[in-house]
Amino acid sequence: MSPFRSGLTPLFVCCTAGTTVYGAFDPIEKIADICERHKIWLHVDAAWGGGLLLSKEHRYKLAGIERANSVTWNPHKLMGALLQCSACLLRQDGLLFQCNQMSADYLFMQDKPYDVSFDTGDKAIQCGRHNDVFKLWLMWKSKGMEGYRKQINMLMDHAAYFTQRIKETEGYEMVVDSPEFLNICFWYIPSKLRKLDPAEKKARLEKIAPKIKAKMMERGTTMVGYQPDKQRPNFFRMIISNQAITRDDLDFLIKEIVEIGESL
């Protein structure tokens, strides 16, 4: 905690549960210990990985999140809600009102025949906004906890299957050998590049993923993003979050990349 030694006071600590590129999870329990010891606000960015809480088999990756002061969670990501559906959850009751309340009497009259705390406009920066939580409520009522558990477990199983197939298929290399989540990052190295010296191989590999992606889009078969990285050549970043995906789809993608890659 070097800021203390410098006479500085940290505003808050933010740890991530499911990073955008690699799907990595910070050790929330250990970070929470430090925050509690120094009385620092702990925020958990679980926008991507928060959905794992609905799976008893995988929620251990977010162990300690219950100790956070605030959490962001985007059901429009892993849970599959329509855009936009985001939540900011705070432990301290009433804090959103304290931060955002303008008490505009032309909007929020107090003489209403119901509990005025249900008027959510004073809780949010936007004031007027869509009732974005309603679609989440409908999905939850339809699927239930068990339905979401099965959905998330299926996606995690697909990610494990895809990772294994990538490792078994000639020409593929993993960027992260054992992914923590649904982000599978990999290269496809065409056969004509495999025996080049490392410097030339890296320079030419930089252009492979963008070219393969462009060809797949031209053919109308599939679309997988690639990731620029200052320390590595461009690599594919496959995110398995569509509940309609099948193992046949994953096998097709692997073959499609090989076919296009060898034709370059």
- Under the banding of pLDDT at 50, 70 and 90, the label for residue 102 is low
Domain map (residue ranges) of the chain: 2-137, 145-263
Tell me what pLDDT residue 109 has.
66
1 pLDDT higher than 60: no
Q: Are 71 and 41 in contact (CB under 8 A)?
A: no
- Under the banding of pLDDT at 50, 70 and 90, the label for residue 2 is low
Tell me what pLDDT residue 132 has.
82
Q: What percent of the chain has pLDDT over 90?
A: 76
Averaged over 51-62, what is the pLDDT? Answer: 98
- Under the banding of pLDDT at 50, 70 and 90, the label for residue 96 is confident
> Of 27-36, 76-85, 103-112, which gets the smallest average pLDDT?
103-112
> Hey, which CATH number is domain 2-137, 3.30.70.1070, 3.90.950.20, 3.40.640.10, 3.40.250.10?
3.40.640.10
pLDDT tens-digit map of 189-226? 999 999 999 999 999 999 999 999 999 999 999 999 99
Q: Are 188 and 215 in contact (CB under 8 A)?
A: no
Residues 6+ apart with CB under 8 A from 43: 12, 13, 14, 15, 68, 69, 70, 71, 72
> Hey, which CATH number is domain 145-263, 3.90.550.60, 3.90.1150.170, 2.30.29.30, 3.40.50.2300?
3.90.1150.170
Tell me what pLDDT residue 108 has.
64
Question: Where is pLDDT greater, at 129 or 35?
Answer: 35
Residue 70: CB atoms within 10 A of its CB come to 17
Terminal CA-to-CA distance of the chain, rounded, Å?
50
Cα-based distances in Å from 160 to 35, 51, 185, 221, 237: 34, 17, 12, 23, 15
